Amino acid sequence: MNRLGLTASLLLISLGDLTACASNYMRVPNPLLSNQNSAISTSAVSSNNLQPIALLLPLQGPLANIGQSVKQGFLAAAEENGSSPRIILIDTRVGSSIQAAYTQAIARNAKIIVGPLLKPQVQSIASLQTSIPILALNYLNSDISTPPELYQFGLSPIDEAQQATNHAWKNGKRSALIITANGNWGSQIGEAFAQQWQTLGGTVVGQLVLSKNPSGITKQMRHFLHFKPPHDRRTDFDVIFLASSPQIGRQVKPLLKFFYAGGTPVYATASIYSGIPGSQRFDNDLNQVIFCAAPWSLPNCNIEPNLYQQLKSVSPMHFSRNCKYYALGIDAFHIIQELGRLNQSPQQTLQGTTGILSLNKQHRVVRQLPCAQFRHGSLVPVN
């Protein structure tokens, strides 16, 4: 798994307990001012009368890159909105206390909390007796009871897996093979593929967990596909679901062709796409693979184009690798502005940079995602 995919998976699985954080009031910055870390600079102080918003993110430590990207997206959206609310930044790095972060937010007179980002932190804040709305930036398991003031919004790859299976079903596929990366992340996505596929009425005829050693994958694929020279292989499937990094995907897809399964539709999660400019010649190996993703993760997105160009101009490479986290911050700001309307009905929607957003009865933000397909190494939209 590449570094970005691994980091994204860490947001999904447990990272342990969290320790006290520092906070300070921030005024929404000029998004064109930046530092060497490509983060938009901020000036401390706020003198308006708008209700303060506490933003709980990992601003230091191993996940600071993600936390800073979310922060910059949130602040840029707030400035473009023209509201310039008071924003209280609270560092909830790995190892910090979410109880302390919440206490500081209340002490600073926050009227709404956005965050935390990490799943175990969301579990902690869900156990508190909160008196103000909280928009958590991750999802808890659906069977966990949460207070009515807690709303959940995030970039779960399970959304991508479920919508990929929906797309395959809509296109008449019924019998699936599932191929996943080794480890907790691959296991979770494989389970999401299987559960949604079987809910729709499909059949899973085989599942393969790929070896951590790339040199062993060819042998695995030959056995999994029941390949016998010159060109015999199993024929009990009409679609393949794949959860892997771009590097592994570029190995698996050509092997499918080599073992005479190259014409079978392959659906993946967004982890298959590196998002790195200039990777077209490598992505030729992924031709015909379909995946669903946040709009800002895909090229030629026309949603919030001014913010997109503004944030990208600060550091194009950093933005390309982290644009979905900038988008998470942008949409988090817009959700709290529209919370009253979204609360009225699941039919109320918001066109966001992470998808078309709605709110279900469990206060979980539901994302409807666009899908794309690799063709000649580039992405094109598919319906």
Q: Are residues 129 and 245 in the same domain?
A: no
CB proximity list for 303: less than 8 A, separation 6 or greater: 295, 296, 351, 352, 353
Domain boundary among 156, 191, 215: 156
Same-domain check for residues 54 and 178:
no
What is the pLDDT at residue 142?
A: 86
Which pairing describes strands 365-368 and 355-359: parallel, antiparallel, or unpaired? antiparallel
The whole-number pLDDT of residue 49 equals: 38
Q: Is residue 377 part of a domain?
A: no
Write the CA distances from 273 to 200, 244, 276, integer angstroms: 26, 10, 8
The verdict on 39 and 53 lying in the same domain is yes
At residue 300, the pLDDT reads: 85
User: How many structural domains compose the chain?
Assistant: 3
Domain boundary among 122, 156, 190: 156
**Does residue 287 sit in the same domain as residue 318?**
no
Q: Are residues 64 and 205 in the same domain?
A: no
Instruction: Give the CATH number of the domain where residue 67 resides.
Output: 3.40.50.2300
Residue 222 lies in a domain: yes
Do residues 17 and 97 both lie within one domain? Answer: yes
Side-chain half-sphere CA neighbours of 100 within 13 A: 14
**Side chain identity at 68, as an amino acid letter?**
Q
379 in any annotated domain: no
Residue 44's pLDDT is what? 28
In a domain, 300, yes or no: no
Look up tokens 């979204």; give the residue.
342
Across the chain, which distance is largest between two alpha carbons, in Å?
76
Say whether both 285 and 358 belong to one domain.
no
In a domain, 380, yes or no: no
- Same structural domain, 151 and 36: yes
Q: Do residues 175 and 149 share a domain?
A: no
Local confidence pLDDT in tens for the 383 residues of the chain: 443 343 434 344 333 222 222 233 333 333 333 333 333 323 222 333 368 999 999 999 999 999 999 999 999 999 998 877 899 999 999 999 999 999 999 999 999 999 999 999 999 999 998 989 999 999 999 889 999 999 999 999 999 999 999 999 999 999 999 999 999 999 999 999 999 999 999 999 999 999 999 899 999 999 999 999 999 999 999 999 999 999 999 999 999 999 999 999 999 999 999 988 778 899 999 999 999 999 999 988 899 999 999 999 999 989 988 999 999 999 999 999 999 999 999 999 999 999 999 999 999 999 999 999 999 999 999 98
**Looking at 124, 140, 156, which one is the last position of a domain?**
156
**Distance separating alpha carbons of residues 262 and 253, to the nearest angstrom:** 7
State the Cα–Cα distance between residues 127 and 105, nearest whole angstrom: 16
Contact assessment for residue 360 and residue 271, using Cβ atoms and an 8 Å cutoff: no
Q: In terms of domains, do 318 and 332 share one?
A: yes
> Residue 13: its pLDDT value, please?
34
Q: Residue 317 belongs to what domain range?
A: 305-368
Question: Is the domain of 163 the same as that of 226?
Answer: yes
C-beta neighbour count of 23 within 10 angstroms: 20
pLDDT at 28: 38
The verdict on 7 and 149 lying in the same domain is: yes
